[in-house]
Structure 1
Amino acid sequence: MSNQQTRLAAGDAELTIDQGNGCRISGLSIGGTELLRQGERYGCFPMVPWCGRLNHGRFLNGATPHQLPLNSPPHAIHGTGRDAAWRTARAEKSEAAFTYDLADPWPYDGRVTQAFGLSEDSLVLTMGIETYGDSFPAQAGWHPWFLRNLGGADDKDVVIDFAPAWQEERGDDHLPTGQRVPPRPGPWDDCFGMPDGVDVTLTWPGRLELKVTSRAEWVVVYDEQAEAVCVEPQSGPPNGLNTTPRFVTPIEPLEIETIWTWRRL
């Protein structure tokens, strides 16, 4: 992996992007306090060209079957973008954009663009997928690992607050069954529907409130680990290439945006 990184700053907010390691955010600090779990697998990585688990790594494009490597047996998970080195398209003081071309093992040609815009109280993330030829089903989203506890002597654990319309029932294989059920209490490794757009608030009591919003209608919440919690806005549910395919066509790219806004408490 390349250790090439890009740093953005606005006010006392600092963002570090590791374009050589999947174009992930490796750090987001506010006033010197790091919000993301550290480590080469963590931070916040893009999920593209699919999100979450893909059933046994298989999907159809029309009548054409495809098999992807099982990087989380028995499934394929989180796309290929997080394993790629991305190219810098532009980098300024508080904005940057990066691209990578879809390649094996993904069977279709296309380009992914991810852009970052930092201000003193917000971060805007956008991602787009365009095809160079054939249409294909795809998804995009983000997988941030927010620290459960910011590490101060008197700090309390983060509280997650959201009001989804439904929860995608999760089967024993960790895939949605296709049934929508009333939202259940955590702990979660679950996908939720928010048809008016993703809107999740993370509160570190007495320290910081951070809102994750998106016009996307699905969010996966994962809080089964001690160190971090994940709030993942995405363009479709896990296994969605099979159940709710959204096609990238020559005239209609896939575009998604999420905005993180924060304020001190």
Structure 2
Amino acid sequence: MIDAPLVTLRHGNLELVVDPAGGGAIRSFRDDGFDLLRASRGDLRDPIAYASFPLVPFAGRIQHGRFSFEGQDYQLPLNFLPEPHAIHGDGWMGSWTVASQDETSAAMVFHHEHRWVPFRYRAWQRFRLMEGTLRVEIGVRNTGERAMPFGIGHHPYLDRHSGATIQAEVDSVWLTDATKVSTERVPVPPWADFREERKVEEMVLDHIFAGFTGAATIRWPNERRGLRIAGDPVLNHLIVYIPRGEDHFCVEPISHAGNAVNMPGRDDTGAHILAPGEELAGTMTLTSLALN
């Protein structure tokens, strides 16, 4: 990664810090000093240790990094060893360039032109702080010479304060195999059901939920704070990652099911095929909540 200064935006009590050279990732998002997303850990430019990072040109896992499309076989780099699959694309592993910036907004771009992998693309993010809310648009343009499947999303990390709860409107969940690859879409079972507000500590999840509408609401009742995470109609899937024994969890608006490129013929995966020159974009909003 190249060296580049951090981008800091402010509006009222909100402060956002983004690291263009560190994967175009959010280092911190605060309201009056309270971390609405998990604050970055350490000074290393490591998006995995940051508050949120962009997912492009796909989200989730592609099984063993292999897929076939329009009669051609592809092998992607396994980019997060010992993870046995390609995961979350590679936009978060590169350096982004700031295209514009003012006090409350910024735009940055990422150009991916490697010919040894199938995806050639230009991606962008646009950050804007408003009253109590952060809007982040992520988009991708196919700059290659053939149609390819693309996807986008965001990967917010949240602090697992005692008593934290989650509630979101979803209609189904993708079950996974032993290696965490999505295999089958089913109605939400009781063990994974947070359509009614539920304590985070009651669940262990690493799943993609479909039919995400409205927003996911996170509450930290002991801190009297909350966060509303919404996606526009493009970002209509939700990864929820609640690991056992960790001090964080993740709630990630994305555009498609994991491993969608290996589910040809299905119309419920959210897969987006972009012809050369076509674009896909979606917006996530993060709204600070004060609890009584």
The TM-score with structure 1 as length reference comes to: 0.91
Aligned residue pairs, count: 258
Aligned to 1:261: 287
Deviates more, 1:230-239 or 1:32-41: 32-41
Distance, in Å, in 1 between the alignment partners of 2:120 and 2:27 is: 28
Where in structure 2 are the equivalents of 1:36-51 lying within 5 Å? 36-37=37-38, 38-39=40-41, 40=46, 41=48, 42-51=50-59
Q: CA RMSD in A?
A: 1.7
Deviates more, 1:186-195 or 1:43-52: 186-195
1:204-256 alpha-carbon deviations (Å, 9 max, x no partner): 11421211111222101011152111000101011122224311224631111
Aligned to 1:142: 154
Distance, in Å, in 1 between the alignment partners of 2:224 and 2:8 is: 24
| Amino acid paired to 2:120 | D
Q: Secondary structure at the match of 1:162?
A: strand
Regions of 4+ moved over 4 Å? none
Give the gaps of 5 or more residues in structure 2.
193-202, 264-268
CA gap 1:122/1:106 in 2 versus in 1, 3 angstroms: farther
Deviates more, 1:235-244 or 1:82-91: 235-244
Q: Secondary structure at the match of 1:79?
A: coil
Where in structure 2 are the equivalents of 1:174-253 lying within 5 Å? 174-183=180-189, 184-185=191-192, 186-194=203-211, 197=213, 199-205=215-221, 206-214=223-231, 215=233, 216-224=235-243, 226-243=246-263, 244=269, 245-250=271-276, 252-253=278-279
Distance, in Å, in 1 between the alignment partners of 2:149 and 2:220 is: 38
- Within the candidate set 50, 64, 76, 1:56 is matched to 64
| Amino acid paired to 1:161 | Q
Structure 1 position 109, deviation (Å): 2.3
> What percentage of residue pairs aligned between the two structures are identical?
30
CA gap 1:227/1:49 in 2 versus in 1, 3 angstroms: same
1:5 aligns with 2:9: no
Distance, in Å, in 2 between the alignment partners of 1:19 and 1:198 is: 29
| Amino acid paired to 2:178 | D
Distance, in Å, in 2 between the alignment partners of 1:101 and 1:234 is: 21
1:149-169 alpha-carbon deviations (Å, 9 max, x no partner): 2xxxxxx34211123211111
Where in structure 2 are the equivalents of 1:67-78 lying within 5 Å? 67-72=75-80, 73-78=83-88
Structure 1 position 198, deviation (Å): 5.2
Q: Secondary structure at the match of 1:21?
A: coil
- Within the candidate set 73, 76, 85, 2:95 is matched to 85
Distance, in Å, in 2 between the alignment partners of 1:70 and 1:109 is: 17
The TM-score with structure 2 as length reference comes to: 0.83
Distance, in Å, in 2 between the alignment partners of 1:213 and 1:47 is: 16
